[in-house]
Structure 1
Amino acid sequence: MAHASDGHSLEFKLPDLGEGLTEAEIVRWLVEVGDVVAVDQPVVEVETAKAMVEVPCPYGGVVTARFGEEGTELPVGAPLVTVAVGGTAADGPARASGTGTGTGNSTGTGEAPAAGPSAAEKKPEGSGNVLVGYGTSEAPARRRRVRPERRVATGASGRANGRVRDAGRTTGPAVPAAEPVDGPVPVISPLVRRLARQHDLDLRELAGSGPDGLILRADVEYALRAAAAQGGRTADQEAGTAGALPAAAPSDGTRVPLRGVRGAVADKLSRSRREIPDATCWVDADATELMRARTAMNAAGGPKISLVALLARICTAALARFPELNSTVDPEAREIVRLDGVHLGFAAQTDRGLVVPVVRDAHARDAESLTAEFARLTEAARAGRLTPGELTGGTFTLNNYGVFGVDGSTPIINHPEAAMLGVGRIVPKPWVHEGELAVRQVVQLSLTFDHRVCDGGTAGGFLRYVADCVEQPAVLLRTL
């Protein structure tokens, strides 16, 4: 059993991970009971409503207990691990007693469960896997999960699609036990893991259709439908044998919990709709010259300039002329707070849902710096590595919904901001240019604004200035 040598145990609790975040879901444990950890070493990977983050432990020593299994949601302030500070791992099988997660150490005393000769032979309470293969060195190998023989439901294609328990019975033919698998099963998002857990579906029995075998939501839903169909056929056969009436068809629809990123987005948009009296104005603009200017910039050598960076530069110039739109409303004080700097949010669609990373001090950046920062934040968003600080504190949002192939939109303002510029797709259209009909690159621009901070004249002036800069990029030279 792991213990401390001339030390004492300290309990590390889930810290506050950012503005308004009250809970986090355990995605993956990075340490085992008995591991020796250093100060500030990450011990667990969690997902909040904002991002996926690794949580470092401020103590160094031996991990004596863990609280919560993968997939468990914990509130801020709940215990994560206990660490024997100043301790060292004992000789012998340090973790033959399990991991001390959840019910394995519900008292919160920080003491590791006692090891016994049969500890590795029985399943921990609430676990569907047998824990074997613990090492004996100071940093033993991670535990391996070995599945007993499972039964899986098989669809029409013959593909194995998991297992759903039905009153203690399993359906479908038995399959041999698979090879041991280390670590959590790779899934596209925690929503997929939660959906499988709610239906008691073993993700380790699925063959993911995503890159590198990544399990997608469609894979889980396919497995559940196949299992339900198999279960329905079995129930009909039993009912026919007994002379009973056929079972009623299950209710239609799938319930998806509004939690995680989707839940946070829902809460924020609902608050925006309740509190902000918004209005939208829009204008079509000839973006031909802007596109030519970008082509000339990129032909001159050096880092490539993105179109969204040029639009962001136009936004910051417009906000300097119309500072009312770079503000927020304090309803309790009944004050409009005009902000000094522009922290520009931009909407980014990811596999985990819509997120809005924030480019800090966008007003002080040139086109090259904006391009680099947009690229960095977009990559981090898609990988789920954005920190809470990179997702909060925006003062104005740029929404490039043209990437979805649409011309216009009336988006909901990102609370507590006061405005959002929307940019549609840039497409060739007939346009009167210099008195003649021509084919030009046309874009629709829209401004959704909080009517409390300004009237239509200010909003229209802002949008017209943006359109002028798009049509005649030289206008920007006045503000550089």
Structure 2
Amino acid sequence: MAKVFEFALPDLGEGLTEAEIVRWMVSVGDVVAVDQPVVEVETAKAMVEVPCPYAGVVTARFGEEGSELPVGAPLLTVAVGASPEDVARDSAGERAAPGVNGTGSGGSSSGRTENGASASGERGGAAETSGNVLVGYGTGAAPARRRRVRPPGVGAAGTTTGSTRAAASAPPSAPVAPASAPAGSASAAPARDAEGPVPVISPLVRRLAKEHGLDLRELKGSGADGLILRADVEYAVRAAERAAEQETAREEASRTAAGQTRTPLRGVRGAVADKLSRSRREIPDATCWVDADATELMNARKTMNSNAAAGDKISVLALLARICTAALARYPELNATVDTEAREIVRLDAVHLGFAAQTERGLVVPVVRDAHARSAESLSAESARLTEAARTGTLTPAELTGGTFTLNNYGVFGVDGSTPIINHPEAAMLGVGRIVPKPWVYQGELAIRQVVQLSLTFDHRVCDGGTAGGFLRYVADCVEQPALLLRTL
């Protein structure tokens, strides 16, 4: 006897409470293995592929692409120990009218619950399941049913109230009605006689209608002699959702027509907005900057890479990261955070170096763990790996959090200088402009040198200008004379 397990959206860590479904990777009827990715979701921090903890056949999906689900909401159900043929046979048996969701008086039929799981719809109800397990999948199983979770976005009156789609993925047993219902389908009909009987046999159908706030007297059944089936109720729910979606689309269109285009602040863009706003509210920041001759640094990089194997090139970002870790060893006050509740400055031992990366989904800050213990070669390899993951949207929440200091190379955008906003709750950020040929006084003579502007934005609560200036000056000295780094190797 197979068992049907419900797999809910797991806790993705870092305080995340919801996720948006980006792409389903399986369909109803597919066979899945343990730890096989089944859906790709987007959180406020990253794109994540969610693996399924069960092996079996997918019997239902919940939520369509583009909808948001809270942590703990059902994602899909999996029949463990069943074959695709079992699932198809069970679905076909339920679609056979009038034995769907109830037979004649005293009869019973084995089919799926409203979430696509197996159930035996005996008159008078069925035994509750425990936990996430639905026992008794398949024809002839003991009566069982599962807890019904009202699809998100469906209000008490049966209309959608949010962006989430309740009937995103119809259970395999539910016949999907066309956009315009044919005669005799479950479309809204004139109200029935308030005192007359309602042609419904299945308690399951009655409960489903009640949970969605539907009046069965306003539905026209598609079964024999006007019998209202589960498919009729589901079609009515979908019709209400489509109407709500169309209304939402009309509202969005009216906003654009008025000369405005509104984009919701959610996902990565929303997370960036929240963090930057909090940084401005809480951190009294100040910025200092200096121009530096980067000619020798670029020459040193050229020498390193001329002797390196193909694919092992050291990036400018990696050299700057190595300089940052050396500077933080001298000025550890800047590798810190402020505990506002305790009114304490918390100095951190390890340097977890974040670097700003622009992607199609917005600005993200991957973090190189234990950067202080890495060589320039290791920093280059790890930053390259994280940059590629950022571009493909596969960074994990752990790779986007926990930074203690951030390096922002805005020179890649072709600008010389900037005043960065500190990546809360860190204490400082080093900004690096583009490296370009400029006139420069070198050894007492005017020469063309590779010049870069460096800027440091720091939390004035953790240090004063002397410390910040000393840090920035040391960074500039290392850029101009890379040999200074030999003292820290």
- Measure, in 1, the Cα distance between the counterparts of 2:246 and 2:298: 47
- Measure, in 2, the Cα distance between the counterparts of 1:9 and 1:109: 19
Report the equivalent of 1:107. Answer: 148
Report the equivalent of 1:261. Answer: 268
Question: Equivalent residue of 1:422, what SS?
Answer: strand
Of 440, 449, 457 in structure 2, the residue corresponding to residue 440 of structure 1 is: 449
Question: Equivalent residue of 1:90, what SS?
Answer: helix
Q: How does 1:10-89 map to 2 (within 5 A)?
A: 10-89=5-84
Of 295, 308, 321 in structure 2, the residue corresponding to residue 312 of structure 1 is: 321
2:420 paired with 1:416: no
Report the equivalent of 2:120. Answer: none
Report the equivalent of 1:252. Answer: 259
Q: Which moved more, 1:453-462 or 1:12-21?
A: 12-21
One-letter amino acid of the counterpart of residue 49, structure 1: A
Report the equivalent of 2:471. Answer: 462
Report the equivalent of 2:303. Answer: 296
- Measure, in 2, the Cα distance between the counterparts of 1:74 and 1:101: 21
Asked if the contact 1:357/1:390 (under 8 Å) is kept, the reply is yes
Q: Which moved more, 1:282-291 or 1:295-304?
A: 295-304
- Measure, in 1, the Cα distance between the counterparts of 2:366 and 2:76: 31
Kindly provide the CA deviation profile for residues 273-306 of structure 1, in whole angstroms up to 9, marking residues without a partner as x. 1111111110111111111111111122332111
- Measure, in 1, the Cα distance between the counterparts of 2:260 and 2:445: 55
Number of equivalent positions: 360
One-letter amino acid of the counterpart of residue 15, structure 1: P
Cα distance, 1:19 vs. partner?
A: 1.0
Asked if the contact 1:65/1:101 (under 8 Å) is kept, the reply is no
CA gap 1:113/1:23 in 2 versus in 1, 3 angstroms? closer
TM-score (norm 1): 0.69
Cα distance, 1:32 vs. partner?
A: 2.0
Cα distance, 1:250 vs. partner?
A: 3.7
Kindly provide the CA deviation profile for residues 88-144 of structure 1, in whole angstroms up to 9, marking residues without a partner as x. 33347467799x99998993499984737xx2664699xxxxxxxxxxxxxxxxxxx
Of 374, 377, 384 in structure 1, the residue corresponding to residue 383 of structure 2 is: 374
Unaligned runs of 5+ residues in structure 1 are 1-5, 126-194, 202-220, 229-248
One-letter amino acid of the counterpart of residue 261, structure 2: T
- Measure, in 1, the Cα distance between the counterparts of 2:426 and 2:113: 41
Question: Equivalent residue of 2:420, what SS?
Answer: coil
Cα distance, 1:444 vs. partner?
A: 0.4
- Measure, in 1, the Cα distance between the counterparts of 2:88 and 2:116: 18
Q: What's the Cα RMSD here?
A: 3.2
- Measure, in 1, the Cα distance between the counterparts of 2:362 and 2:115: 32
- Measure, in 2, the Cα distance between the counterparts of 1:315 and 1:102: 58
CA gap 1:109/1:400 in 2 versus in 1, 3 angstroms? closer
2:288 paired with 1:286: no
Asked if the contact 2:114/2:148 (under 8 Å) is kept, the reply is no
Of 342, 345, 359 in structure 2, the residue corresponding to residue 350 of structure 1 is: 359
2:318 paired with 1:277: no
Asked if the contact 2:29/2:87 (under 8 Å) is kept, the reply is no
- Measure, in 2, the Cα distance between the counterparts of 1:403 and 1:452: 31
One-letter amino acid of the counterpart of residue 31, structure 1: V
- Measure, in 2, the Cα distance between the counterparts of 1:383 and 1:331: 36
One-letter amino acid of the counterpart of residue 417, structure 1: E
Q: How does 1:218-257 map to 2 (within 5 A)?
A: 250-257=257-264
Asked if the contact 1:326/1:395 (under 8 Å) is kept, the reply is yes
- Measure, in 2, the Cα distance between the counterparts of 1:366 and 1:355: 24
Report the equivalent of 1:449. Answer: 458
Of 4, 7, 10 in structure 2, the residue corresponding to residue 9 of structure 1 is: 4
- Measure, in 2, the Cα distance between the counterparts of 1:274 and 1:10: 46
- Measure, in 2, the Cα distance between the counterparts of 1:199 and 1:426: 47
- Measure, in 1, the Cα distance between the counterparts of 2:272 and 2:248: 22
Unaligned runs of 5+ residues in structure 2 are 96-111, 118-146, 152-168, 182-244
Cα distance, 1:33 vs. partner?
A: 2.2
Question: Equivalent residue of 1:257, what SS?
Answer: coil
Cα distance, 1:360 vs. partner?
A: 0.9
- Measure, in 2, the Cα distance between the counterparts of 1:279 and 1:102: 59
Cα distance, 1:254 vs. partner?
A: 0.5
Cα distance, 1:435 vs. partner?
A: 1.2
One-letter amino acid of the counterpart of residue 335, structure 1: E
Question: Equivalent residue of 2:431, what SS?
Answer: strand
Report the equivalent of 2:219. Answer: none
Of 427, 442, 452 in structure 1, the residue corresponding to residue 436 of structure 2 is: 427
Cα distance, 1:43 vs. partner?
A: 1.4
Question: Equivalent residue of 2:85, what SS?
Answer: coil
CA gap 1:124/1:62 in 2 versus in 1, 3 angstroms? farther
Cα distance, 1:62 vs. partner?
A: 2.6
CA gap 1:328/1:69 in 2 versus in 1, 3 angstroms? same
Kindly provide the CA deviation profile for residues 134-183 of structure 1, in whole angstroms up to 9, marking residues without a partner as x. xxxxxxxxxxxxxxxxxxxxxxxxxxxxxxxxxxxxxxxxxxxxxxxxxx
Q: How does 1:106-255 map to 2 (within 5 A)?
A: 107-108=148-149, 113=171, 115=173, 119=175, 122=178, 199=249, 250-255=257-262
Q: Which moved more, 1:48-57 or 1:306-315?
A: 48-57
Asked if the contact 1:67/1:102 (under 8 Å) is kept, the reply is no
CA gap 1:198/1:298 in 2 versus in 1, 3 angstroms? farther
- Measure, in 2, the Cα distance between the counterparts of 1:267 and 1:196: 30
Report the equivalent of 1:218. Answer: none
Report the equivalent of 2:220. Answer: none
- Measure, in 2, the Cα distance between the counterparts of 1:109 and 1:457: 60
CA gap 1:199/1:123 in 2 versus in 1, 3 angstroms? closer
Report the equivalent of 1:474. Answer: 483
- Measure, in 2, the Cα distance between the counterparts of 1:114 and 1:282: 63
One-letter amino acid of the counterpart of residue 479, structure 2: V
Question: Equivalent residue of 1:368, what SS?
Answer: helix
- Measure, in 1, the Cα distance between the counterparts of 2:247 and 2:39: 20
Asked if the contact 2:28/2:172 (under 8 Å) is kept, the reply is no
